[in-house]
Amino acid sequence: MLGLKAFEPNRDIASPNRNIAPISSEISESKKLLVGGCQLSELAKKYGTPLYVVDELTLRTACKTYMNSLKKHYPGDSLPLFASKANSSLAICALIASEGFGLDAVSEGELLTALKGGVKGKNIVFHGNNKSYAELDFAYKNNVTIVLDNNHDIQLLKKIASDKKPAKLMLRFTPGIECHTHEYIRTGHLDSKFGFDPDEVKSVLEQLKKYKWANLTGLHAHIGSQIFEVQPHIDLAGVMADTFRLAKEIGHPIADLNIGGGLGIKYVASDDPPSIDKWIEVISRAVVKACEEKNLDLPRLMCEPGRSLVANSGITIYKIGAKKIVPGIRTYFSVDGGMSDNPRPITYQSLYSACLVDKPLDSNFEKVTIAGKHCESGDVLLNDFFLPSCESGDFLAVFGTGAYNYSMSSNYNRIPRPATVMVGEGCVELIQKRELPEDLLQLDVLPDRFIAKN
């Protein structure tokens, strides 16, 4: 249940991932919810609903906190990378680039968006467990660092890279650590589709050393997502330092250590993730200690925040429509969006917080279920959720939707994707246009034989 506490002034301004609402959230004199100085119900009326809203202050604050924390806690060079799978758009790529961030991408589409958004190729790393020839060729030609995930990558790059222009590479391996938010396990071999198995690493490093086209400059590992614990990253630093030393001994010019991302955020009141600064502090100390113990020069430290960078800057506004009462069981309110603009509840049973944008402080709560409009019984955004008394036409804001909502959206039931606006200091800018029903037909092809003859 989201109530007054979400808007109290003692929220963690320096670490947006620890707040449910964007840090610019405030209540107007007329007791309506504002974000970035903009009244949400007015945005909904002007731009339509569902509507994604991104708070520029929250996003820039998260970027600055990562940058400043790395400078504060890590004595060597560093480069944070935005995990763009969380939310890829020209405007967001341009914003994170302006804050000094690099970016990680997993497709040609994400690469193109990043490059067009102003991220330099030298500050981009390209992931993926089944990269195509075309994708690898595009990354190589744009001076992007390619993360080797398997031998398939190596075989394709043999045909692409030139000895005169070596490909800049990182090697991804499974570190034997897997984290699931509040608990983690360590094993020798993890059942993962990503990265080389630990037993393969030495032979792959030796193989790459034979290729003049291969310039291996870094190592990569990732242990999970929505992580609230810090101990797994301490263990990860030790494992990566061992591999770092091995690569050096084989003769690779390793300089970068990429520990992935995964820091969690606060979706509901019971969530208690570490702050960005604490996460960076723990990782930095662990890497420094591991390098000292193994007599290694400090690498350039890289990390890949996605959710913790953008999620809490985003909200989604819906308009409430139909109401259905199932006597003795529940009351349904349906909204004009759902699983096509936020597939996480039906896919992962994800929990969110929400409020009525023009009644954010009302306390006459009733238990309701907020259902989406799609033709699926499981299309439910908020189950048995407490909201003030609401009615058809009210606007509902769902918080923490800046990550994996637009990027995982679909046209299920041929429903167009929402628009996205960015707000700040009372100004609003459209950064993604709303799809229209006719847009959904642009790639359809109707064979002549199906066209009715007059």
CA of 19: how far to CAs of 16, 212, 274, 306, 406, in Å? 5, 49, 11, 16, 20
Contact (CB, 8 A) for 73 and 285: yes
Q: How big is the CA angle at 266 (ends 23 and 369), to the nearest 5 degrees?
A: 105
Contact (CB, 8 A) for 337 and 417: no
Residue 175 parent element (H or E): none
Buried b (16+ CB within 10 A) or exposed e, 272-286: ebbbbbbbbbbbbeb
Torsion 146-114-43-37 (CA) sign:
positive
Is 375 in the active site? yes
**Separation CA 187–CA 406 (nearest Å):** 35
**Separation CA 116–CA 114 (nearest Å):** 6
Contact (CB, 8 A) for 310 and 92: yes
Residue type, 423: V
Q: Is 427 exposed, middle or buried (0-12, 13-18, 19+ CB in 10 A)?
A: exposed
**Separation CA 171–CA 125 (nearest Å):** 11
Beta strands in 260-313 (DSSP E): 300-303
Residue type, 154: I
Please give the backbone phi and psi of residue 39, each rounded to the nearest 5 degrees, phi first.
-75, 120
Outline where 74-167 has alpha helix (H).
90-98, 108-116, 133-141, 151-160
Structure-token pair, residue 448 = 């002549």
For 66: left if phi > 0, alpha if psi spans -120 to 50, otherwise beta; the answer is alpha
**Separation CA 168–CA 217 (nearest Å):** 7
Cβ count near 417 (within 10 Å)? 20
Structure-token pair, residue 147 = 């993360």
**Separation CA 115–CA 138 (nearest Å):** 11
Catalytic hit among 355, 375, 390, 427: 375
**Separation CA 201–CA 77 (nearest Å):** 25
Q: How big is the CA angle at 171 (ends 169 and 176), to the nearest 5 degrees?
A: 165
Q: Which residues are catalytic?
A: 375
